[in-house]
Amino acid sequence: MPHLLDCIGNTPMVTFSNIGKNHPQQFMGKCEHLNPGGSVKDRIALAIIDSAERQGLLKPGGTLVEATAGNTGMGLAIVAAIRGYRLICVMPEKMSEDKRQMLRSMGAEVVVTDNAPPDDPRNFQQVARRIAQERKNCFWTNQFANTANPIIHETTTGPEIWKQTNGQVSAFVTGVGTGGTITGVGRYLKRMNPNIQIILADPRGSGLASLVNTGQMGEDGAYQIEGIGSSVVPEVFDPSVVDFAVSISDRESFDMTHRLVREEGLLVGGSAGTTVAAALKAQPHVVGDGPIVALLQDSWDRYWSKIFNPSWMAKLKEQQAQ
Which residues are designated catalytic? 41
Give the angle 36-63-175 at the CA atoms, nearest 5°: 45
Is there a contact between 302 and 99 (Cβ–Cβ < 8 Å)?
yes
Q: How many CA atoms lie within 13 A of 241 on its CB side?
A: 26
Helical pair 310-321 and 250-264, crossing angle rounded to 10 deg? 150
Across 291-307, b (16+ Cβ under 10 Å) vs e yields bbbbbbbbbbebbeebb
DSSP type of residue 59: -
Give residue 136's identity as a one-letter amino acid code: K
Neighbours of 222 (CB within 10 A): 12
The answer to whether residues 10 and 42 touch, using CB atoms and an 8 Å cutoff, is no
Q: Give me the half-sphere count of Cα atoms (radius 13 Å) on the Cβ side of residue 4.
A: 13
Closest Cα to residue 180, out of 91, 252, 72?
Answer: 72
